[in-house]
Amino acid sequence: MTIIKNVLVRFFNERFFDQAAQTAYYLLLSMFPFFLFILSLLSLFPVNEEMLLTFLRPFTPVESFAIIEENVQAVLSKGHGNVLYASLIAAFWVTSMAVQSLARSLDLANGYVRRYAFWKVLIRDLGVTLLFMLVIPLSLFLPIIEKALFRVVTYYDTIEEWQGWFYIWPNVKWGLGSLFLFLFFLLFYKVVPTGKMKLKEAFPGAFFSAFGWQLFSLVFGGYVSNVDYTRLYGQLSGIILLVIWFYLTAVIILLSGLLNAEWRKSSDRKRRRVT
């Protein structure tokens, strides 16, 4: 409980909610160039745009998902081969700003001081950005893995006839998605901060981000579906909800970073007592 209390106190006292707003802005700014880049790459792999939309649908508010789907279809209708390089440059630069914002926030959470020259830090952040631009598209292969696993498991017809199968298979699909998110956030909290962090020190934040973000998206999606935001914002309701969703996503990411920092401090104190 002390760790959770310290995380919440630091989040408000050190104004991490302001950092979350900055990060949300960069994430929103980078979203469409990044999608454009991913869609441009789809022709090179055995995936299609429906897989991308299927992966995003469970986590995105309905009104916001409609905006994303509309833009995806608009890109595909015009063809995407000729926008690959332009979208790559735009996505890379804007996404790097989001990564730099997150790196500064996580350094602050962990008490790291950036002693390196600006250009060295910039090159490092650009390298981290490139890494995640390569890792994130791997999520598109989850539906392929799910289909392959489904075919293996249902090789014998008797399994499909078993009534419990309809309850187990959705949990298997959820487990695969959760495992990917956990590994993604584990890598994220390991490499984004400029200071050295052991892999085991990133476990608490990765776990909280992976499952907390899914729970938040589920609750937020249920709330949005029962509240008519069009009366307040009209046609802008989808964009407003997308901004809120990105902001709360950034809040979870930064809370997880603080959780890692406080968990490590607590472990260090216990270690010193023992010695």
What average pLDDT does the segment 252-269 reach? 90
**Chain centroid to CA 155:** 34
Query: Do the beta carbons of residue 258 and residue 5 sit within 8 Å?
Result: no
> Cα–Cα distance between 250 and 248 in angstroms, integer?
5
Per-residue pLDDT at 12: 93
Model pLDDT for residues 111-144, shown as the tens digit of each residue: 887 776 777 777 777 778 777 766 666 665 666 6
Of residues 63 and 91, more confidence is placed in: 91
Helix (H) or strand (E) holding 225: helix 203-225
Highest mean pLDDT among 13-27, 155-169, 175-189, 223-237: 13-27
Closest CA to 192 of 103, 113, 92, 264: 103
For the record, the structure tokens of 47 come out as 């995936």
Of 139 and 213, which is predicted with more confidence?
213
Looking at the predicted structure, is the pLDDT value of residue 202 above 80?
A: yes
* pTM of this structure: 0.78
Average pLDDT of every residue of the chain? 76
Q: Other CB atoms closer than 10 Å to residue 147's CB: what's the count?
A: 10
DSSP per-residue string spanning 88-115: HHHHHHHHHHHHHHHHHHHHHHHT----
In order of 19, 25, 254, the CA distances from 13 in angstroms are 12, 22, 14
32 neighbors 71 (Cβ within 8 angstroms): yes
pLDDT higher than 90, residue 206:
yes
Residue 152 CB-density burial (10 A; 0-12 exposed, 13-18 middle, 19+ buried) = exposed
Write down the pLDDT at residue 261: 92
231 pLDDT higher than 90: no
For residue 236, what pLDDT is reported? 73
Cα angle: 230, vertex 235, 237; to 5 degrees: 55
